Structure 1
């Protein structure tokens, strides 16, 4: 299998349970909920995505012919020979992520996490699964380590996912793409997240700290 990667980089995880943890991010190209083209955004199932996942022209992006090739490249970003940590993201990483790649990563002493929309099957040998449901999409993953919901979404209220068995539940404020200035809209949705978490304490607030402290 050839893996198509938009970008890879070493940074701190900015949100969710592992916020602040050093991680290599591997962003796969492609998504099943939006083409990534602005002309298609309004009709997309996920219309608020703020990520470029089209093509392989990003930082350290490219095509990798084997799982071993990609695993070796990911390992090269880790600063020493200690246990490493990679977050597979997208787009939708489940479209490309497979058992072979996870096995190759484990052989190189790398823990594997995924951030998925939950609409496609994922390898069984992942170390950490984060599911982030989007809009009206059908989530087929019913058990995960972390459920992270962008909020508010009219078609994806938190109670819709009460059946999902998750160790941790986070609400993340939505970016309102209908506003020319995102900051006021972000303040409103952050307040909505706070209020919901206070009224439903099984949920916790997750902020994009990498944007707050201005790192990749």
Structure 2
């Protein structure tokens, strides 16, 4: 198959249980919960997305005809010889629309650990090392197990209680950052306070923030 990648870059993981870990991010193009076009945002299942996943024109992006081709591009992003276990995070958009066992096997042979950030609506390859499940809106989540459950909060159609039956090692609330520059700061403050209060009342949940935005890295 041909893989469509919006962008690829080396940075630090900014959220959740792996926060601060050096990572290659491979952002697949396309999503099943929003077209990525502004004219469709209001009617999208995930209307608060702040990520550009349309096309293949980002840094490191492009069309990759084989798993070996894409794996080679990912491997080239990692500073080989610098120590540490190579780590790649597949994200999107929705990576479950394109991610394959063949790609992950190829990266495993190169010594990589492979993680995914998914909305949980698609079946995933069974050979992933780390699964971050981030449900969106009223979408049907078909995954029942994950390493971390990272829920944007608050979402009226996706309250934390809805996911009590998901088997997760870690549960995180990530404060909602609504789209629209004129409302970002006060709305973010309200969402953060709500997430803090929920975690204090429900200690099985932890707060996570977008550290990469705080320290201004990709």
TM-score by shorter chain over 0.5 = yes
| Equivalent pairs, count | 216
Match of 1:190 in 2: 192
Match of 1:150 in 2: 152
Q: Deviations over 1:87-145 (max 9, x none)?
A: 00000000000111100110111100000000000000000000000000000000000
Match of 1:119 in 2: 121
Note if contact 1:6-1:28 (Cα within 8 Å) is conserved in structure 2: yes
State the Cα distance separating 1:178 from its structure 2 match.
Answer: 5.8
Deviation larger for 75-84 or 110-119: 75-84
Deviation larger for 18-27 or 78-87: 78-87
Match of 1:56 in 2: 56
Structure 1, unaligned stretches of length 5 or more?
Answer: none
Note if contact 1:179-1:185 (Cα within 8 Å) is conserved in structure 2: no
SS of residue paired to 2:151: strand
Deviation larger for 196-205 or 80-89: 80-89
Note if contact 2:148-2:168 (Cα within 8 Å) is conserved in structure 1: yes
SS of residue paired to 1:181: helix
Match of 2:27 in 1: 27
Note if contact 2:50-2:179 (Cα within 8 Å) is conserved in structure 1: no
SS of residue paired to 1:129: strand
Structure 2, unaligned stretches of length 5 or more?
Answer: none
SS of residue paired to 1:76: helix
State the alpha-carbon separation in 2 of the partners of residues 208 and 177 from structure 1: 15
Deviation larger for 171-180 or 154-163: 171-180
RMSD in angstroms over aligned alpha carbons? Answer: 0.9
SS of residue paired to 1:171: strand
